[in-house]
Amino acid sequence: MKKFKGRTAVITGAGSGFGLEASRIAAGLGMNVVMADVQQDALDRAVAEVEALGAQVLAFRLDVSKAAEVEALAAATFKRFGAPHFVFNNAGVGAGGLIWETTLKDWEWVVGVNLMGVAHGIRVFTPMMLEAAGKDPRYEGHITNTASMAGLLNAPNMGVYNATKSAVVAMSETLYQDLRLVTDQISASVLCPFFVPTGIVQSQRNRPAEMIDVDRQLTRSQLIGKAMSEKAVSSGKVTAAQVAQAVFDAIAKRQFYVYSHPKSLASVQVRLEDIMTPRNPTDPFAHKPELGDALRAQLRAVD
């Protein structure tokens, strides 16, 4: 898809991070922008900013884990702008800790947002886009799903996050291949960012009350995971704006895999060699053993 002006973008997680930056870019390209986010105050601020750029904006408060809400978003989009041309299934949350310490509510929350949020977006918007393509040979569409490098690597102490992001990569690859079976007018991408300064480390701020374990304290591994993520994300040199631009560049080039840190693919290569050899999974801290030693010492410390 090379033409953007006058077309419509639907962006979840639009109140901050990649979603907000993508909304800014879409507005600059002359697109109509449907901005959806679970955090109302952040959404209100973001919408006001994007409208000030001259874009026609539809704001929608949305919990992507709720099928009915995603369906309502699609209906509102179609009523206002017709079928969208770009759908960015971007909303996501972060969580860490040893995988067996992940509670049922932790699983339900993270899977609901990171995995089912993307599934709902694909399920609801793809048929709408295919119908538009069937009616108009000039129609072009693109769907981008936000996964993570955690979808290509399985770092320790991040089990629930790894699981959901791996699933998003698999879903996106399947979406790409399925679309190729039925149309040349719609394509797909998967975004796999590494550590980029965004609000994902503060995901708990938007966790629904019914998904909170009221009397439960974070475990040692979860506290360590949170601290490590905050440090890694805050020290990231690649910006959310750069990542969002890479998303739009990929749309124009019909490029499937979108990376924020291409050098990290060396670790993916090692993982693939582990699988193909086969050999046991390589120590993820082999290149920086002091980090692995510190993490093991922290986790094995006796209170």
Q: Which two tokens stand for residue 195?
A: 């550590």
pTM across the whole model: 0.95
Q: Is the pLDDT of residue 302 over 80?
A: no
Is residue 65 within 8 Å of residue 117, measured between CB atoms? Answer: yes
Token pair of 67, please?
Answer: 């099928």
Question: Which domains does the chain carry?
Answer: 8-263 (3.40.50.720)
* pLDDT of 231 higher than 90: no
pLDDT computed for residue 301 by the predictor: 87
Looking at residue 236, its pLDDT comes to 82
141 contacts 84 by C-beta, under 8 angstroms: yes
Tell me the average pLDDT of the chain. 94
Residue 96 · residue 223 · CB < 8 Å: no
**pLDDT, position 213:** 86
Residue-level pLDDT at 276: 97
**pLDDT of 58:** 98
What integer pLDDT is reported at residue 38 of this predicted model?
96
Token digits of residue 129: 């886009």
pLDDT bracket for residue 190 (50, 70, 90)? very high
Tokens of 13: 């997680």
Short-list 146, 166, 15, 164, CA closest to 87: 146
Nearest to 232 by CA among 132, 126, 128, 158: 158
Which pLDDT value is given to residue 197? 80
* 260: its two tokens: 């924020």
Q: Which residues contact 26 (CB under 8 A, 6 or more apart)?
A: 4, 9, 11, 33, 55, 86, 248
Q: Where does the pLDDT of residue 237 fall: very low under 50, low under 70, confident under 90, or very high at 90 and above?
A: confident
Give the model confidence (pLDDT) of 81-120 as tens digits.
999 999 999 999 989 999 999 999 999 999 999 999 999 9
pLDDT at 229: 85
pLDDT at 303 over 80: no
Q: Which residue, among 60, 174, 179, 76, has the nearest Cα to 129 in the 3D structure?
A: 179
User: Which pLDDT belongs to residue 165?
Assistant: 97
pLDDT tens digit sequence for 59-73? 999 999 999 999 999
CA 164 from chain centre, in angstroms, equals 10
